[in-house]
Amino acid sequence: MGVKGFVEGGIASIVAGCSTHPLDLIKVRMQLQGESNSAAARAPQPIHNLRPAFAFNSHSATLVGPPPPPPAPPARAGPISVGVRIVRTEGVAALYSGVSATVLRQTLYSTTRMGLYEALKVQWADPNTGNLPLTRKILAGLVAGGVGAAVGNPADVAMVRMQAGGRDYKNVVDAITKMARSEGIVSLWRGSSLTVNRAMIVTASQLASYDQIKEAILDRHLMKDGLGTHVTASFAAGFVASVASNPIDVIKTRVMNMKVEPGREPPYCGALDCALKTVRAEGPMALYKGFIPTISRQGPFTVVLFVTLEQLRKVLKDF
């Protein structure tokens, strides 16, 4: 396999990432919905100085009643509403905010995971039949995803920051530079444990399920090895990956998006703290925020990824 698998996987991933970037941006915005309200609810309330009603200089006393009830959280906006709001308030170009980070992320993360997965498949396949059991495919995906995520985490953090809005980043290099200067080099690997866990789950579920479903279709002669098989297997793989990864993706997005200011306590102490605070403030289903745009993005992304990959394999088979 050599370098060829890395090149094919990298090109296919960049094409897929750029094609579905607006859906990914909408997913990030939806995952951050309600976060500011829940953070405000956790903030300590000011302590009022209560004075006796008949104290001297009572004209200066302040009568303090019960604190007003917290404002009701705004209604959850759907993916279409979020997309329309972005276009109206920020312009059409805003749908591609952070696309430079997407390109860098796919170049680092996906090139590594796709190439390493193919190399492990060849290494671990049965030497007599060339077949690879599902368990080994999953293991290969876990290893490849973890390594790829560790390599691409700085670009992932920059992409989330740029997609979330509210920060003045010109491009991915500017974002990484500013984060490193203001928050330290370590901030580039913020949420790396979540990124690695998510990548392991996504890669294992996405790549292993694609190969398994494609093999099942061909073995049962349901379809020929062509575009129809590739689209069917890839869309099914995208659904599996979305269901498995969405909760981790929500927590990852929130941890990466938080800005830690000197002298102030960070909103979250880590992944587990973020998960617990999110569930307490917004309910368990908050972990599936953005699922519709996730599957809407993961489905097309996986289809474009594997269809492009299969075509590249045909073109580059003689190299």
Using one digit for the tens of pLDDT, what is the confidence trace for 108-118? 999 999 999 99
Q: pLDDT band at 215, cuts 50/70/90? A: very high
Tens of pLDDT along 47-92?
Answer: 444 444 444 444 444 445 556 655 555 556 778 888 899 999 999 9
Q: pLDDT digit string (tens) for 138-196?
A: 999 999 999 999 999 898 888 888 887 767 788 899 989 998 998 889 888 887 888 89
User: 3-class SS at 205?
Assistant: helix
Give the model confidence (pLDDT) of 235-246 as tens digits: 999 999 998 888
What pLDDT is attached to residue 248? Answer: 87
Higher-pLDDT residue of 264, 227: 227
Which residues lie below 8 Å from residue 78, measured CB to CB, with a gap of 6+?
Answer: 292
As a whole number of angstroms, the distance between CA 245 and CA 291 comes to: 10
Contact 118, 125 (CB under 8 A): no
Name residue, tokens 């030497």. Answer: 127
pLDDT of residue 59: 46
Give the closest residue to 158 by CA, choosing from 191, 204, 132, 123. Answer: 191
Q: Which two structure tokens, joined as six digits, stand for 55? A: 């104290």
pLDDT band at 305 (very low <50, low <70, confident <90, very high): very high
Q: Model-level pTM greater than 0.85?
A: no
